[in-house]
Structure 1
């Protein structure tokens, strides 16, 4: 690796010129457009002709990273290691400290580039996360309870799911249920009977997941025990645990490159499952963007990206899992959620391009954030009657025909009866389409093809390169939700015969204007 060359240069064994990073320039071909690197900026893709520099070893945009770029004319770039890239006048400049990334001409289309890269670099595992994810909604307590996770309000939330005619599904208890970070016991002052709570949730028809992270509160009993075992990440050149600054303060951190530490953590999670009847975990954090200090990893060749990958790999042992960030791992049986978005129309418009980008990077089983947004700060100081109810409904509809849908802000708290009933209807549509979504997911686990597909992927070189407001669900359904305010939109149908959600038939290629009242989600079944 290139770092070895730097050391050799310092020792005088080679010249500094020989120790320079690998640089590569790739000039775009005529009409060629590029995707790559970061799910969190999928809405920027295909990239414009010029961009700022992006660094995979320093940032992750609150989402997944893959050392991979692919183009609309069948080319792709791959590296096993993080690299920097920048577009300037339609030329990609790549800099790597590790190796020269490989440029491959795999075909003539975006799909051919993707399938060739998937087969070689991130083949599908043949496995799925738990099948319930694809047919039932998820409910996350974050927006409603934030850091006040407690037994009474959790059970109240679950009861209201049923009272308001929403399907049961996966129930996620978010951050601050535990005594402190690194501990996996419920706070007794907030949860007088946690096993009774989980038994009740199971009786209601939910599966239960708990939020966890790799961090450990400093000077806790767990901290002292883990430090003595050598299971915590160490500060550079020190025997002392490193302190990582993240969004909830400053904490020590499991060294995920230490197999003994990982095995120990896994056993703690298994104990939590046995003790409380928990089905799985939401594996939060692991962001490259927060691991920006100087550390001594157990694996001497590791870096922040390795750490992120190993944290995500832990989730593979738990079929009920969710991640918001990872390094590589395309094709694996992991639920990869989009990063938290704010409560805005702009955020709704980002869902489709970010989801299709996740698919293009091999993240087959992705959830499009939380309905209405997952940034809790955007929901503060808004009275229940002051929410933009149209926005919440359109966000819900956009989620409904994606692989997964997740509620957090409670529709029954912020919506009137009419808007709430529309959301319940589309939660049930997701349930009704569950067999098709699951079958598509099973096919994806064998072929590597995304469940959610960009129009350019599905219909190459037909003018869809910049299309970001409609998508394909598998091979069969074209979905065209409203992602802006209003009740009319343009839909572009490719060649073929299409039947819409109202039973009307169209012959493509055809551009149509369609009325979209608030209670309608336009989608089109490919008949031929």
Structure 2
């Protein structure tokens, strides 16, 4: 929200108050409380007026500082609240000349008494500061706001704030954290997260689930401003030596994802949205995929599995699906998992509407009437997930579907949540607008988790929803521009703490031309999760052209063989909060060329992927330092430099990072198999001291010996395989017998070492 008119003046109707000195600083166990008047205190008479800014500083865990800014403290706290893990409280207070200091791990906050200033520092360097007229209260036509402004240094770049489809670097942007059903082509977003990540050793999480207004190097080009309406504002400064370290700490604070089941990483095929379908149609799709040797893991039924005007009553349309349990059994007998579309809205024509009214399960207006409107479904209402009985009622409907054979749910919608309502638990409707997505997806996810494997395909989200994977990018057009928008959105979401992400291959709105569809297939199968979906047209590849079938087969099989590697990346996301799909700056924060890259990404830590955004196959991409190997062609690409290529539809740049041991599985027909059985280890550009655990818990360590590299394994399986790339000669140490093999050979050994002579 803009409060100022340029640098010097406030906008008409704005009244501002800012702390000018720290008059009183109180030390409490592991924390500080500061009273900072908005005027100089020169004599006792100045203590008879306000306002006074109360700042509470604490440390919920190492490397995190909590800042709470308050004007009036008598305001009722109605919730909801983000779930914060503050069990590792780690604050230490000290005093310096003219300053009070709170230290948490390597991060410290220093409060200067007079003049007022708050510095956040690590390693002897100031990371960011709140200076004169940064923090404070602003009244706009009688409405009270709390604001903070934190400094940005030269070259500091801001990322995150949720799944945003504009430029990846947020500098210069105005962002409101407010979930909206706005597609992928505007400033609106389905997944708003009040957390930003910088390349300067820190991130900032604003602990407010409602609307937070960010001005990122826009109102003041050297500051990030954020504000909320109300009497208080709380934020956390999160320190990390690298952006990945910041994400690790931020997700420890707000939650990390569960591990999606292995089958969810395979290809999902849907009926599409408004297309006509029944069991015969679906069987035809499944038969067509099998006949063309196209691996398929999940079949998804979109909205019209239910009758029109009845969404959501969770009842199969009896005309199209007279035997749902039998149909699902027949599909599952073919090795498929089943997903069905749901949302949290209850149409008036549904029998569930009357149930919801009678049970008090639906969201109501302040006067007690059920809140309704005619958008999306006539007379629809919303489930009030703050009511435990309503959550149990909704969950019971899903349990019935699981009993029929459904395996997971696409949790669509959850963004258009009104504020002129009264929640069962008394929650503030403004704070619930974004947080509704958390309660909705959590309800569904917990139903699945009680059965074992749990995965949803969610569109709406806010901070903390990373616990409930997977999320997809929403409604995009069938254009190359929308394909690029989608990638930016996914990378931005990953920089906001979300580990897994997907998108509609080919775009949602419209029907993609065959060339675009084939380019998007390659991108989609080299994403965390992969789904063929559209709005008004089917997405089976043979309806586009026969080459689309070949492209889908090539990349679906490639992804299946990459599953030992992707499984490791997924487990890292769960353990550390580092996303599977990573913006280049996450892996190469010290390379300035990576700062703004948004048309390529790292899939895990070792594969660089550069999607092709043109019919003719022209693609340009940046290669960081080292000798990288193209996974699909075997050619070496040396960086740092920009590369321009032209790719056919069966290829795109997928470069393997130097120093990688890449495991490729023995199965290309499905994603869920024993990854250690028959795995092939591909060695790329090995040098001294590389330690990797590519699959099955076996660690590989390299030792450079002149022009040789010795590769040793710990606890090796009885037999293991290595496909050596970029070497001149291989010697296998096998029971004391050295066996020479030609370069590039597949090595099988019962011993636990190979010696490679590097081709200089």
What is the TM-score of this pair, normalised by structure 1?
0.88
Please state if 1:21 is matched with 2:145: yes
**CA apart distance, 1:433:** 1.3
**CA apart distance, 1:244:** 4.3
| Shift in alpha-carbon separation, 1:177–1:345, aligned structure 2, 3 A | same
Q: Does the 8 Å contact 1:330/1:364 carry over to 2?
A: no
Instruction: Tell me which of 323, 327, 338 is aligned to 2:462.
Output: 327
Instruction: Tell me which of 632, 640, 665 is aligned to 1:509.
Output: 640
**CA apart distance, 1:205:** 1.8
Q: Does the 8 Å contact 1:492/1:511 carry over to 2?
A: yes
Please state if 1:374 is matched with 2:508: yes
**Alignment partner, residue 45 of structure 2:** none
**Alignment partner, residue 93 of structure 1:** 225
**Alignment partner, residue 277 of structure 1:** 405
Q: Secondary structure at the match of 2:295?
A: coil
**Alignment partner, residue 154 of structure 1:** 282
Q: Secondary structure at the match of 1:468?
A: coil
Q: Which has the higher contact order (CA 8 A, sep 6+)?
A: 1
**Alignment partner, residue 252 of structure 2:** 119
**CA apart distance, 1:250:** 4.0
Q: Secondary structure at the match of 1:496?
A: strand
**CA apart distance, 1:58:** 6.5
Q: Secondary structure at the match of 2:648?
A: coil
CA shift digits 1:446-471 (9 cap, x unpaired): 11111111111110131211111111
**Alignment partner, residue 200 of structure 2:** 73
Q: Secondary structure at the match of 1:142?
A: coil
Choose 208-217 or 507-516, whichever is displaced more. 507-516
Please state if 1:435 is matched with 2:435: no
Task: Give the Cα–Cα distance (whole angstroms) in 2 for the partners of residues 2 and 265 of structure 1.
Answer: 40
| Shift in alpha-carbon separation, 1:316–1:420, aligned structure 2, 3 A | same
**CA apart distance, 1:3:** 10
- Runs (5+) with no aligned partner, structure 2: 1-69, 78-137, 183-187, 449-453, 660-760
Task: Give the Cα–Cα distance (whole angstroms) in 1 for the partners of residues 379 and 473 of structure 2.
Answer: 25
Q: Does the 8 Å contact 1:2/1:21 carry over to 2?
A: no
**Alignment partner, residue 445 of structure 2:** 316
What is the aligned length? Answer: 501
| Shift in alpha-carbon separation, 1:450–1:227, aligned structure 2, 3 A | same
* Rg larger in structure: 2
**Alignment partner, residue 291 of structure 1:** 417
Q: What is the aligned-residue RMSD (CA, Å)?
A: 2.5
Task: Give the Cα–Cα distance (whole angstroms) in 2 for the partners of residues 220 and 492 of structure 1.
Answer: 54
Q: Which has the higher helix share?
A: 1
| Shift in alpha-carbon separation, 1:404–1:220, aligned structure 2, 3 A | closer
- Runs (5+) with no aligned partner, structure 1: 9-14, 380-386
1:118-517 → structure 2 map (5 Å cutoff): 118-120=251-253, 122-125=254-257, 127-134=258-265, 136-143=266-273, 146=274, 148-179=276-307, 180-218=310-348, 220-235=350-365, 237-274=366-403, 276-287=404-415, 290-302=416-428, 303-317=432-446, 318=448, 319-367=454-502, 369-375=503-509, 378-379=510-511, 388-408=513-533, 409-462=538-591, 463-500=593-630, 501-517=632-648
What is the TM-score of this pair, normalised by structure 2?
0.62
CA shift digits 1:483-512 (9 cap, x unpaired): 233223223211233111211123332333
CA shift digits 1:424-445 (9 cap, x unpaired): 2112212221221122101221
CA shift digits 1:233-288 (9 cap, x unpaired): 001x22221114543444011101111110111111101221x211121111111x
Q: Does the 8 Å contact 1:141/1:154 carry over to 2?
A: yes
Please state if 1:34 is matched with 2:158: yes
| Shift in alpha-carbon separation, 1:527–1:304, aligned structure 2, 3 A | same
CA shift digits 1:160-183 (9 cap, x unpaired): 221222112011100021241241
**Alignment partner, residue 656 of structure 2:** 525
Q: Which has the higher strand share?
A: 2
